[in-house]
Amino acid sequence: MYYLSDYHSPVGRLTLVGTGACIVGLRLAGQGGSHAETPPGFLVDDDQAVFVKGKKWLDRYFEGRRPSPDALTLAPDGNEFRQAVWRFLLEIPYGETTTYGALALKTAQFFDKRAMSAQAVGGAIGHNPIPIIIPCHRVIGAGGNLTGYSGPIDIKIRLLKHEGVDMRSIVSRLCIAD
């Protein structure tokens, strides 16, 4: 059985998805693709212990207290390749960014390959079912371009700013005023 619970955050409504024992998803308001679909049979249950813990984690995150994702029981569904990429996302420190290319190199090393496509890594990142907690927003394109985010790009910008990432060069590329 899967359960849902809404959380009202500074970046809009978030929907936690869980099994009762673990968090399997977090949906962003305005997120498209398969993340936007709610399969039949999901029950809304704000009292699930996993949601209470998840909401406390989100409270701490949005207060700037840098909670560790290790404090939560996460179970994103994906193949071995996606699971590896998502584990690497968890290693990106709060307030820092990395590139798709850097993650491709790390993934290639993990799978004992000479090279890995940054686009393949981007595809895995784009299918991250637990954004924010598994911080896909911390991945940027070469040269500081904000590309490949499955949610609304303004949420990625707000999360990076929230974490204290220096946005001057990125924001100027996007022509977005504060």
> Can you spell out the DSSP letters for 139-154?
EE-GGG-----SS-HH
Cα–Cα distance for residue pair 98/164, rounded to 1 Å: 14
CA-CA-CA-CA dihedral for 95, 53, 136, 149, to nearest 10: -120
- Give CA 100 to chain center in angstroms: 14
Q: Under 8 Å CB-to-CB from 69, ≥6 apart: which residues?
A: 57, 90, 133, 134
- Give CA 64 to chain center in angstroms: 16
Instruction: Tell me whether residue 175 is one of the annotated catalytic residues.
Output: no
Catalytic residue (one of 16, 116, 130, 136):
136
**Identity at 104, one-letter amino acid code:** A
Catalytic positions:
136
